[in-house]
């Protein structure tokens, strides 16, 4: 029987008053405006870097954004991608119904180099289907990735496929031409158990409700809120369990496509603040696997962590090295 755990903070979330930002409110506003600006971004800050900006502002006013790279936008919630390394000065302006500027906020966004351009291919296996993504690719120009499956153009998915051998290719527009990555994979029937997955969730939430202490291995600590199953985290969890069962690896870094837990979650379309993953192989029942996780400090800290959503997956494949494969994926949504 084997266990594995992984955790990483995904997004850095700050208000405008936090380092490295400083707020500047223009003189002339007779009354407080209630204008507040914040942002969230990947903590590594590497290009291409997508930043989510938010503003708290009176509903009758509008917010205008200048991202410092020649791009602008309007709205209280906007997203912008910086494709090149550098330090950018962002300006947000609060405009009233007469077109007058009521307040201004400024801040610096520092973007680091993501290294040489390259394409990544994330293959999310399912039961009779596959999803493809370019999550983790580094390309220093805007562009839409394209996908082929055994040479046939497809979308990101889900794509219905029969059992067999496949080659998935991802192409991403880059500064000096198209970036490409191909991954070979197989798909085959996998046994599942909805009752097993439901019981893993129940036992996990029971441990949180009873305040399981990861140091003393006893109940009685502070109670934590129940985790809610998330359909996109379910896709990421199933992809990991299926990948291990079909391709014979046991690792958080996929032996199929090299993806990390964060990449698999991002491949589903989520951009969480933090992600953690517990895996196990060989345990035959939900009770056995949850108890093993709770008695392992790292896995236990994931279960008792500051998360609100979870994906759970169990698969069984006859003839595979461990027969039973379990995955939990935890996430804290970005604010």
Q: Tens digit of pLDDT for each residue in 135-188?
A: 999 999 999 999 999 999 999 889 999 999 999 999 999 998 999 999 999 999
pLDDT, residue 8, reads 60
Domains of the chain by residue range: 36-111, 122-187, 191-331
- Rounded-to-integer distance, Cα 171 and Cα 150, Å: 14
* CB distance 307 to 332 below 8 Å: yes
Q: Does the reported pTM lie above 0.75?
A: yes
Residue 27 has pLDDT above 60, yes or no: no
pLDDT, residue 19, reads 29
Q: What is the CA radius of gyration of the chain?
A: 23
Model confidence pLDDT, tens digit, residues 47-90: 999 999 999 889 899 999 999 999 999 999 999 999 999 999 99
Q: Which two tokens stand for residue 314?
A: 């169990």
Q: If you ran DSSP here, which 8-state letter would residue 112 be given? A: B
Q: Is the dihedral of CA 214, 217, 223, 225 positive or negative?
A: positive
Q: If you ran DSSP here, which 8-state letter would residue 162 be given? A: -
pLDDT, residue 322, reads 95
Question: Mutual orientation of helices 194-209 and 286-294 as an angle, nearest 10°?
Answer: 30
Q: What percent of the chain has pLDDT over 90?
A: 81
Model confidence pLDDT, tens digit, residues 228-254: 999 999 999 999 999 999 999 999 999
> At the fourth CATH level, which superfamily is domain 191-331?
CAP (3.40.33.10)
pLDDT, residue 21, reads 37
CA of 290: how far to CAs of 127, 130, 241, 312, in Å? 24, 28, 16, 12
Mean per-residue pLDDT for 104-133? 95
pLDDT, residue 273, reads 83
Name the residue among 163, 167, 165 with its Cα closest to residue 149: 167
CA dihedral of 94, 96, 97, 100, whole degrees rounded to 10: -110
Residue 9 has pLDDT above 70, yes or no: no
CA of 26: how far to CAs of 29, 32, 79, in Å? 7, 11, 25
pLDDT bracket for residue 40 (50, 70, 90): confident
Mean per-residue pLDDT for 300-326? 96
Q: Residue 276's beta-bridge partner residues?
A: 7, 330
Please name the CATH architecture into which domain 36-111 falls.
Sandwich (2.60)
pLDDT, residue 5, reads 60
């Amino acid at each position: 029987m084997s266990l594995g755990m992984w955790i990483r903070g995904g997004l850095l979330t700050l208000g405008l008053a936090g380092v490295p930002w400083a707020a500047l409110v223009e003189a002339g506003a007779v009354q407080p405006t209630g204008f507040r600006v914040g942002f969230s971004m990947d903590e590594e800050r590497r290009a291409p870097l997508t930043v989510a900006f938010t503003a708290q502002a009176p509903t009758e006013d509008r917010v205008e954004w200048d991202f410092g790279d020649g791009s602008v936008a309007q709205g209280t919630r906007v997203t912008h991608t910086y494709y090149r390394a550098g330090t950018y000065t962002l300006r947000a302006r609060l405009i009233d119904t007469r077109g007058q500027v009521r307040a201004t906020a400024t801040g610096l966004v520092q973007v680091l180099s993501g290294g040489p351009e390259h394409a990544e291919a994330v293959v999310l296996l399912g039961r009779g289907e596959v999803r493809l993504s370019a999550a983790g690719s580094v390309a220093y120009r805007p562009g839409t990735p394209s996908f082929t499956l055994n040479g046939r153009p497809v979308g990101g998915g889900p794509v219905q496929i029969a059992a067999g051998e496949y080659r998935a290719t991802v192409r991403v527009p880059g500064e000096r031409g198209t970036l490409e990555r191909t991954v070979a994979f197989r798909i085959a029937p996998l046994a599942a158990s909805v009752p097993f997955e439901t019981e893993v969730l129940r036992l996990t939430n029971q441990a949180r409700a009873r305040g399981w202490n990861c140091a003393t291995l006893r109940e009685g600590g502070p109670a934590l809120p129940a985790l809610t199953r998330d359909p996109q985290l379910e896709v990421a969890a199933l992809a990991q369990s299926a990948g291990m069962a079909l391709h014979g690896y046991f690792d958080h870094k996929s032996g199929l496509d090299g993806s990390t837990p964060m990449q698999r979650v991002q491949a589903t379309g989520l951009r969480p603040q933090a992600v953690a993953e517990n895996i196990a192989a060989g345990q035959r029942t939900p009770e056995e696997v949850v108890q093993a996780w709770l008695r392992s400090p790292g896995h236990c800290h994931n279960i008792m962590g500051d998360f609100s959503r979870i994906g759970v997956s169990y698969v069984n494949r006859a003839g595979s090295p461990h027969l039973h494969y379990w995955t939990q994926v935890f996430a804290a949504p970005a604010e």
